[in-house]
Structure 1
Amino acid sequence: MSRQISKWFLLTIISSSIFLAVIDIFIVNVALPSIRKGINGSDGDIQLVIALYLLGYAAFLITGGRAGDQFGKKRVFLIGMIAFTVASAFCGISQTAFQLNLARLLQGISAGFMIPQGISYIQVLFPNPVERIKAISIYGSIAGSASVIGQFLGGLLPDLHFIVAGWRLIFLINVPLGLASVFLAVKFLPSQSSQAKEKFDYSGVLLLTLTLMALIYPLIRGRELGWPLWSLICVGGSVPLLLWFVYDQKQKLNRGGYPLIDMKLFAFKDFNIALWAVLFYFMVQDSYFLLNVILLQIGFGISSTEAGLFFVLQGLGFVVASLVSIRLVPRYGKKVLQGGILIMIIASALHIVVFNSVDINRFIAYPVLFIYGFGCGSVLPSLMTMALKSIPTKFAGAASGTYATFQQTAIALGIGIIGGLFFSLAGENPSTITYLKAYQTAMSVNMFLLVLVGLFLVLLPEKKAVAASANFSH
C-alpha cells in the first residue's frame, strides 16, 4: 500500500521527528522561568532541563543511526517516536525537578534514535539527486519553522491556564502530535530491512555518556552547591574518561572492529579546524536564549507571551537568512559565514545597549533581535557543509554523526559554563541591577567566543562548497 502513497507525503511523516525534536528545544528555551516556578526549581534545575535533553541526544545519535540500519528504519523510528511521546507526557505531569529532568533525558535519548531514521529515509525515498536536494530543503525548512513556532508557543502557552498549568502544555502538546505520527508511520511508512553487519559499540556508548555526564552535570549542579568535592572529582575525572574513550575507539578500529566514532576522521585537518568553530559557535547558540529569557522575564518582569514575541523576531531573521545563505555559500564559500559571525557580534553588542533597563525601546529591540537571527541564519545552515566538504564520501555518514554529536555536546557545555557564569554573577538573591551586570558580562563572553569562531573560519582553506546542506539537528 505504501508504494501507492506519494513519497512527498512520506517525507511529511518522517519530518515529524525533526519537527518535534527542534520545537521541544525552542519551546522550552522561552518557557524556562515558568517551568522553574512550576516545579519550584533552582537555577541549576532549569539549566539541566536543557542540558540533559541535549546530552541524551548527543550520546545516542550515532547509535540511533546504526540501530536503524541493523533493526530496520521503520521499527526504530516507531520505537523512538513512541518513547519520545511517552517521555513528553511524563515531562508534562512531573511534580519535581528530578522527575522532569529524568524525563527530559529520556526525551533526548529517544530523539537520538528517531531523528537519524528520517534522514536515512530521505536517501531511500529520493534516489534522484535533484529530488533529494529538494527533499532535504523541505526537511530543513520544517526544522527552521519548528524553531520559530517553538519560540512563539514557548511564550504563549505558559500564560494560558486551562485544565493544567500553562507550562505543562509545552510538553503535553507533543502527545497528540506524536500519536498522530506513530499512526501515520504504522499505516504508510514502508519497512526497510536490516542492512548493517556492524555490531553495536555498547562500551563506546557507555564511555561517551559517562564522559559527558561527568563534565556537564557537576558544572551545573556543583556551582549552586558550592563546589563540593564530588563535583570537582567528576569534572577532573572527565579528562581521563575522555582519553580512555579515544584510546578505546582507536583500539577497536585497529582490531578491525566497529567503533562508535571513526578516529580516522581526525586525520583531516579541515574537519578538526571546523570542529573548533562548531564548539565555540554552539556554546553561544543556546546560552544566548538562556541569558535573554532570564533577563527579560525574571530580571525585567516581561510576560512570557511578550518574551516569545521577541524571539519570534529572532527566528524570522534566522529563516530569512537561511534561505539566502544556502544560495550564496556555493558561490562565496566561507565569506558568507564570516559575514554572519560579524553580524552576530555587532548584534550582541547592540543587545547590551538595548537591554540596559526595564524600559526597553521595542522599536529598536525588535530589529536588533531580527538582525541577530539573520546572522545566525547566515552561519548555521552551512556550518556543517564547511566541516564536511573535504571529507571523502566513504566517511560522510560517520563524519555527519560525529559532527552532530559534537554540536549537541557543545550546546550543553555552553549552558553549563556560560549559564553558570551568569547565575554566579547574578548572586543568590538577584535584583534587576545584578541581573543586568551578569547579562552584560555573559554576553561579552559570547562575543569573544564568536570572535574565535571567526578566526577558525579564517583558518579553513578557501574552497567553495559544492552545495549547502542544512543542519537538521538543531
Structure 2
Amino acid sequence: MDIFIVNVALPTIKKDLHATDADIQLVIAGYLLGYAVFLITGARAGDYYGRKKVYVISMCCFTLASLLCGIAQTPLQLNAGRALQGVSAAFMVPQSLAYIQMLFPDQSARARALGFYGSVAGVASVIGQFLGGFLPDIHFSNELFSHLDGWRLIFLINVPLGIVAVYNACQHLKEHKLLKTGSFDVSGVVLGSMALLGLIYPLIRGRELGWPLWSLVLLGSSFLLLYLFVKNQQVKMKRGVPVLIDFKLFYYADFRIGLFIALFYFIAQDSYFLITGLMLQDGLHVSSSETGLLFVFQGLGYVLGAVGSLVLIKKYGKKVIQMAVLLMMVSLLLHVFLFSAAKVDWYLSYPLLLMYGVGCGAVLPSIMSLALQRIPADLAGSASGLYSTIQQAAVALGIGLTGGVFFSFLSEGASKTDFVNAYMGATALNVLALIGVLFFLYRLPEGGKGEDA
C-alpha cells in the first residue's frame, strides 16, 4: 500500500515542499532504490538470523522511517526517510513470501496462497489510492494541528499500523530452523548491492542532469560489478560456500521466464500511476481527492481481476494472462484518446480505469504464482528475494525511463497539449513493455515443467 498511497499525493507534496521534478521521482524511486538494492540481502538474512527476528526488527525500522517522512520539512529529508523505508521493506517483505512457501508445502495450496497474497495487494491498492487522494485535501482548523499538512498523514498512518504488526508478529509468528552451516555472504551482498545501485541511481538522476560523466561511469561500472557478482557466486557454489543467490533456481524454467515477465510488467505498472496522477492533477487540474476516487476504480478492477483469474487460469491456463495484458494495452491507448479530447468525459474515465485494473489484477498475482509455485521450501528465501529484487528494480527502472520521457516534454508553465504529448510518449513506452510481457508469456510452457533436463 505504501507506493499506491504516495502516487496520488505527489503533486500536493511537490507544491508544499517546493520540490523539483527529480525530487518527486525520487519520492517513489528512492524508496524503490533502497528496496531493490537490499532485497536479496534481506531474504538471505531471514535464512541465517531468523525470519521472525528479521521481520520484527525491519517492521520497527519501517515504522520509524514513516514517522521521519511524516515530519520532513525539505525534499531531502523526505527522500532520506523514503530510502530508509525502502531498506526496511527489503528486509521485511521477503520474510512474508518465505513464510508462505514454508506454511504451504503443497504446490496447489501454495498457488492459492500466493494468489490470495496478490489479491490482498489489490485491496491495499484500493485503500492506498483512496487515502492518497483524500488525505492531502484535509486541512485542520484547530490551531494545534494547523501546520499539519494532510499529505503527512499518508506516512504517519503507518505508525499505529506498524506497532500493531510488530505486536501480532511477536505473538503469533513462529521462528523457522536457522541455517547453521557457513557464514553470511558479505562479499556477495557488497557486489550485488553496488551493481544495483550503480544501475538504478544514474537512470533516475542522469536524464535531468544531462547525463553527466559520473552517471555514465556508474552505468558502465554496474555491468562490470554484476559480472563480478555472478562469477563470485559461481565460484562459491563450486567450493560449497554459502551464497546470496542459489543458481539452482535457474534450473526451473518457469522461474527463469517468470523473472523476465516480471521485469517488463513492472516497468509499466507503477510508472502508469506516476504519469496518470500527474496528468490528472497538473495537466487536467483534477483535485487530489477526485484523482484518488478515480484510482479507486482501478483498484476495484484489480480485485475483480485477481479473484476472477484464480478460477479462469485453472481452466484456460496462460491464455487468461495473455488476454489480460492485451486488455491493459487497449485501455492505455483509450486513456490517451480520453485525455486528449477537447472536453474530457469523466463518466467514461471510471469504466476505463476499472478495465485497466481488471487487466492488472489478472496479471500481477498470476505471474508471481507462475514464477514461485514450483520452488522447493529450501530455496524459498533466495527465490522470493530474487523475484522481489527484479520486481522493484523494474519499477524503479520504469519510474526513471517512463517518468523521464514524460518530464522531457514539459517545462515551466506547460499547457494541456504539452501534458497530453508527454502522456502519449510515456504511454508508448509502457505499451512496448507490455509487448515484452506477451512475448515471454508465449515462451512459457503451457504446463510449466518443473526443471530443465
Give how far 1:122 is off.
4.6
One-letter amino acid matched to 1:326: L
Contact 1:326 1:381 in 2 (8 A): no
Residue 52 of structure 1, CA deviation: 1.9
1: CA distance, partners of 2:13 / 2:347: 29
Question: Which of 85, 88, 92 in structure 2 is aligned with 1:107?
Answer: 85
Number of the residue aligned with 2:437:
453
Which of these residues, 21, 24, 36, is aligned with residue 43 of structure 1?
21
Aligned pairs (5 A) from 1:150-169: 150-162=128-140, 163=145, 164-169=148-153
What's the TM-score, normalizing by structure 2?
0.91
In structure 2, do the counterparts of structure 1 residues 277 and 193 end up closer, same or farther at CA, with 3 Å as the change threshold?
A: closer
What is the alpha-carbon distance in structure 1 between the residues aligned to residue 318 and residue 449 of structure 2? 8
Is structure 2 residue 13 aligned with structure 1 residue 30? no
Query: 1:322–1:377: 8 Å Cα contact kept in structure 2?
Result: yes
What is the deviation of 1:43?
1.0
**1:143 — aligned with what?**
121
| Residue 31 (structure 2) pairs with residue 61 (structure 1) | no
Q: 1:131 to 1:243 in 2, by over 3 A?
A: closer
Greater mean alpha carbon deviation, residues 29-38 or residues 296-305 = 29-38
Partners of 2:33 and 2:201 within 8 A in 1? no
Shift of 1:213: 1.8
Q: Is the 8 A contact 1:122 1:132 kept in 2?
A: yes
- Structure 2 partner of 1:376: 360
Output the CA distance in 2 between the equivalents of 1:435 and 1:69.
47
**How much does 1:359 deviate?**
3.2
Letter in 1 for 2:420: L
Q: Which residue of 1 aligns with 2:72?
A: 94
Distance between the aligned counterparts of 1:392 and 1:404, measured in 2?
Answer: 17
CA distance in 2: counterparts of 1:37 and 1:245, whole angstroms: 42
- Paired position in structure 2 for 1:326: 310
Moved more, 196-205 or 241-250: 196-205
Q: Which residue, out of 292, 304, 326, partners 1:308?
A: 292
One of 175, 186, 194 as aligned partner of 1:192: 175
1:433 matches 2:417: yes
User: Residue 99 of structure 1 aligns to a residue in which SS?
Assistant: helix
Equivalent position of 1:356 in the other structure: 340
Give 1:408 shift: 1.0
Aligned amino acid, residue 83 of structure 1 = C
Deviation at 1:297, TM superposition (A): 0.6
The structure, 1 or 2, with the larger RCO (C-alpha pairs under 8 Å, 6+ apart) is 2
Name the SS for the 1:224 alignment partner.
coil
Q: Is the 8 A contact 2:98 2:380 kept in 1?
A: no
Q: Aligned equivalents of 2:255 and 2:103: distance in 1?
A: 29
Give TM-score, length-normalised by structure 1.
Answer: 0.87
Q: Tell me the distance in 2 between the aligned counterparts of 1:460 and 1:125.
A: 27
Aligned residues: 443
Structure 2 CA distance, aligned partners of 1:293 and 1:39? 18
Equivalent residue, structure 2, for 1:9: none
Q: Could you say what secondary structure the match of 1:359 adopts?
A: coil
Q: 1:296 aligns with which of 266, 280, 294?
A: 280
| Between 172-181 and 298-307, the greater mean CA deviation after superposition | 172-181
Instruction: State which drifts further: 400-409 or 365-374.
Output: 400-409
**Matched residue, 1:346:** 330
Task: Indicate the SS of the match to 1:199.
Answer: coil
RMSD of the alignment, in Å?
A: 2.4
- The match for 2:212 is 228
Separation (CA, whole Å) in 2 of partners of 1:131 and 1:107: 32
CA displacement at 1:248 relative to structure 2: 1.6
Amino acid at match of 2:2: D
Change (3 A) 1:361 1:134: same
In structure 2, the partner of 1:264 is: 248
Question: Aligned partners of 2:134, 2:177: CA distance in 1, in Å?
Answer: 43
